[in-house]
Amino acid sequence: MTTNLKGMLTHIEPPKPNPQAGRRWAFVIEPDRCIDCEACMVACSVENQVPVGHHRNWIAHREKGKFPYLSLHFEPENCHHCSNPPCEMVCPTGATFRREDGLVLINYDDCIGCRYCMMACPYDARYFDEDRGVVDKCTFCVHRLDAGQPPACVETCIGGARHFGDINDPESEVAKLLARHEVYVRYAEAGTGPAIFYIMD
């Protein structure tokens, strides 16, 4: 992790593709292209039957600069499927687990709804599903991935801000984007190793 010239924004060394390591699903996001239309939020809610009042993805608003040189930027966000996920570490039953390909998922049979994972997630990516009594969150649309399709939010994104793929495959779109651009992740200082990379504006 290093600091850029202006000393404010932390950017990271983009991970190099490592074909031996197997798949690592990740997002590369171009905040520049997001117009805050929130179509991805609708697509996700429909695809995953997200209960009313909760969301698995959202658009973070960032004000940059100082008056009068102000600008508003949008960072689409969802669960970062961290490499070192605090939610998984604190889960007392082992219901939250990390799959080989980097997906952080919940085994709903084992979840007792203690919500400790919600305290632990620095991104507030999780919500409590009152009806089922369990915690839930973005799964990177695991059911679609396993069927060979991209996540619903990626397919819907009108501005083309959301890119998704296997960063360990050098030929993938995301690996190429990472190789070409300077990127940052959110809350790098938390040490979570998030798998959503944002391209610097």
Residues that bind other proteins (CB under 8 A): 4, 6, 8-10, 54-55, 58, 60, 62-66, 86, 89-95, 110-116, 118-124, 127-130, 132-135, 186-187, 189-191, 201
CB nearer other proteins, residue 100 or residue 131: 131
Phi (first) and psi of residue 119, to 5 degrees: -65, -35
Phi (first) and psi of residue 124, to 5 degrees: 55, 45
Q: Let me know: does 81 contact 140? Beta carbons within 8 Å.
A: yes
Q: How far from 106 is each of 1, 136, 177, CA to CA, in Å?
A: 30, 7, 30
Q: Strand 104-106 to strand 96-98: parallel, antiparallel, or no bridges (unpaired)?
A: antiparallel
Contact of residue 185 among other proteins, ligand SF4, none (CB under 5-8 Å per partner type): none
CB nearer other proteins, residue 16 or residue 62: 62
Interface positions, 36-95, toward ligand SF4 (CB under 6 A): 79-82, 85-87, 91, 93, 95
CB nearer other proteins, residue 116 or residue 155: 116
AA identity, residue 3: T
